Amino acid sequence: MSELSKIEWTEATWNPVRGCTKISPGCKHCYAETFAERFRGVKGHPYERGFDLRTVPNKLAEPLRWRTPKMIFVNSMSDLFHEGVPEEYIVAVARVMVAANWHTYQILTKRAGRMRELLNATLEFAARQPHIWWGVSVEDQKYGLSRVDDLRAAAASVRFLSIEPLLEDLGRLNLNGMHWVIVGGESGPGARPMKKEWVVSIRDQCRASKVPFFFKQWGGVHKAQTGRRLEGKTYDGFPRRVEHPVMPPERCLRAASEIESFFEPNDFLGLSALA
Ligand code: SF4
């Protein structure tokens, strides 16, 4: 969406894919859908086609042009592993992340099975890079816990859980192989409530397993009022970030045009069939 982000656990967002379709209860109040649908039909707006799924090849090379190292949330407005995104396009996104390695990338999906399969095969070259963090969303036991197992079975160097919106007590979590846990309550109109004991249980399990814990927000209808303190404390845990030198500008430009020459500048998917 933009070079700067208000999301508490990242610094910037990069959306080489836009739009998505709902898959589980965590999607009910999808902020990305609400935002995108506001602009449906607005000529020339990036979300002129609302929340319809589409690739955006002219955004592919963006991180190669950002010269200051950033923590980048990849596809804040979509799901990279959506079944409608072609594998060769996902590989191209991964190539950019590997090339522009002075940034740290955070990829978050609810399509954990596809992510596992690809990380263990075509995306192996990106899976082992410590500057690329692979994560799954977990909202409840029924849909969320199997995603954690898929993530654990993926050959990723850094794995994380985004437990947001937390909709119920998750019980005993298997945190083996996890490097970061984010927890947050739902916010906005109609927000579903989150109980303190559910959050405390996850925090305590992270503490026992020595997994960094980040408490994003209580949420609710007015999230500014409920804040992000838990038992009087702010939790801002992160995995360790690796540092790589920034590529010289001429190499960046070359890499960017190589990537861009691979795809048509306009959407290369006619995805109306998926809408
Ligand atoms: S998977 Fe994510 S982006 Fe897609 S509809 Fe659900 S919440 Fe929205």
Q: What is the pLDDT of residues 256-270, one digit of tens each?
A: 988 888 776 555 554
Q: Are 158 and 104 in contact (CB under 8 A)?
A: no
| Nearest protein CA to atom 3 of ligand 1, as residue | 78
Whether a cis peptide bond, with omega within 30° of 0, leads into 165 is yes
Ligand 1 close to Cβ of residue 22 (< 6 A): yes
Ligand 1 close to Cβ of residue 82 (< 6 A): no
Q: Which atom of ligand 1 lies closest to the CA of 78? A: 3
Ligand 1 close to Cβ of residue 27 (< 6 A): yes
The whole-angstrom separation of Cα 22 and Cα 193 is 20
Q: Which atom of ligand 1 lies closest to the CA of 26? A: 7
Predicted local distance difference test score (pLDDT) of residue 267: 52
- 63-117 pLDDT, tens per residue? 999 999 999 999 999 999 999 999 999 999 999 999 999 999 999 999 999 999 9
Ligand 1 close to Cβ of residue 62 (< 6 A): no
Ligand 1 close to Cβ of residue 108 (< 6 A): no
Can you read off the two tokens belonging to residue 255?
């890499």
Q: Which atom of ligand 1 lies closest to the CA of 21? A: 5
Please give the distance, rounded to the nearest whole angstrom, from the Cα atom of residue 248 to the centre of ligand 1: 36
Predicted local distance difference test score (pLDDT) of residue 1: 40
C-alpha closest to that of 149 among 116, 125, 121, 119: 116
CA dihedral in degrees (38, 40, 43, 49; nearest 10)? 130
| Nearest protein CA to atom 7 of ligand 1, as residue | 27
| Nearest protein CA to atom 4 of ligand 1, as residue | 20
Q: Is the dihedral of CA 181, 151, 4, 99 positive or negative?
A: positive
Question: pLDDT tens string for the chain (275 positions)?
Answer: 455 678 889 999 999 999 999 999 999 999 999 999 999 999 999 999 999 999 999 999 999 999 999 999 999 999 999 999 999 999 999 999 999 999 999 999 999 999 999 999 999 999 999 999 999 999 999 999 999 999 999 999 999 999 999 999 999 999 999 999 999 999 999 999 999 999 999 999 999 999 999 999 999 999 999 999 999 999 999 999 999 999 999 999 999 988 888 776 555 554 333 33
Predicted local distance difference test score (pLDDT) of residue 87: 96
Other beta carbons less than 10 A from residue 186's beta carbon: 24
Ligand 1 close to Cβ of residue 98 (< 6 A): no
The whole-angstrom separation of Cα 233 and Cα 171 is 23
